[in-house]
Amino acid sequence: MSKCEQCIVRQFSSLKALNKQELLKMADCKTSYTIKKGEPIFEEGEVTNGIYCIKDGVCKLSKLSSNGKDQIVKLVKPGELLGQRSMISEEPANLSAVALEDMEVCFIPKKEILQFFTQNNEFSMNVMKTICGDLKDADVHMVDMAQKSVKERLAGTLIYLEETFGIDTDGSLRLQLSREELAGMIGTATESCIRLLSELNKNNLIELVGKRIKIVDKNKLRRLAD
């Protein structure tokens, strides 16, 4: 069993506020999982009964709209926690979390987390700050969806993918989203997303190598996004 106090990813989340005793307690009650690419960590409407700490890999948080389209709300990377909001609000999960690549995930039961909440002020403050940060991001996203064109949103998303998740040895985006997932991030139809990618490719802002995307002119792409 891996020791929580030696786990590097805890430094990136609210868990950094926990002391050694609390981390030892957490190591005793956590469960570690391997989630394969395409598998859900949890689904919308599920009662999670705890939080998930992402040790390795990336997942998407998405909501299924009434017309059956998957709207991606957020991408979650190692070090982040999932399920904090529904645990505090005591509501089922509002979003689905699905692995975009193979993942290592630890589950910490609600009972333990709520104990840390009552005993450790810094930890509960950190959780609140994280939830506030998510709300702020949701505000920005809502304004972008209302005021920016689909092309501007696509340009901004491609920059975000490169700056957040990096590039492969061939210079293409390391995190490869399907055209459908990319469309789900910018809130458009898959056909529109494919057409806009071709346009950006033709104008030499990006290069399409099969299904992979490589940013060629970041400055132009950023000007387009802003």
Q: What is the mean pLDDT of the chain?
A: 92
41 — phi, psi (to 5°)?
-85, -45
pLDDT in tens, 102-111: 999 999 999 9
In a domain, 1, yes or no: no
Of 48-52, 103-107, 140-144, 204-208, the range with the lowest mean pLDDT is 140-144
Instruction: Measure the CA–CA gap between 142 and 146, rounded to whole angstroms.
Output: 6
Q: Are residues 159 and 203 in the same domain?
A: yes
Instruction: Kindly state the helix (H) or strand (E) to which residue 182 belongs, with its residue range.
Output: helix 179-186
Band the pLDDT of 5: cuts 50, 70, 90. confident
Structural contact between residues 155 and 224, judged by C-beta atoms closer than 8 angstroms: yes
Cα distances from 134 to residues 64, 85, 149, 166, 207, in angstroms, run 19, 10, 23, 22, 32
Could you list the residue range(s) of the whole structural domain that residue 109 is in?
A: 8-145
Please indicate, yes or no, whether residues 140 and 197 belong to a single structural domain of this protein. no
Residue 1 has pLDDT above 60, yes or no: no
pLDDT value of position 220 = 94
Count Cβ atoms within 10 A of the Cβ of residue 147 and give its class: 0-12 exposed, 13-18 middle, 19 or more buried. Answer: exposed
What confidence category does residue 68 fall into, taking pLDDT thresholds of 50, 70 and 90?
Answer: confident
Residues 172 and 113 in one domain: no
At 23, which CATH number?
2.60.120.10
pTM: 0.88
The model's pLDDT over 111-133, given as tens digits with 9 standing for 90+, comes to 999 999 889 999 999 999 999 99
Name the domain boundary from 116, 145, 174: 145
Is 65 inside a domain boundary?
yes
In a shared domain, residues 33 and 136: yes
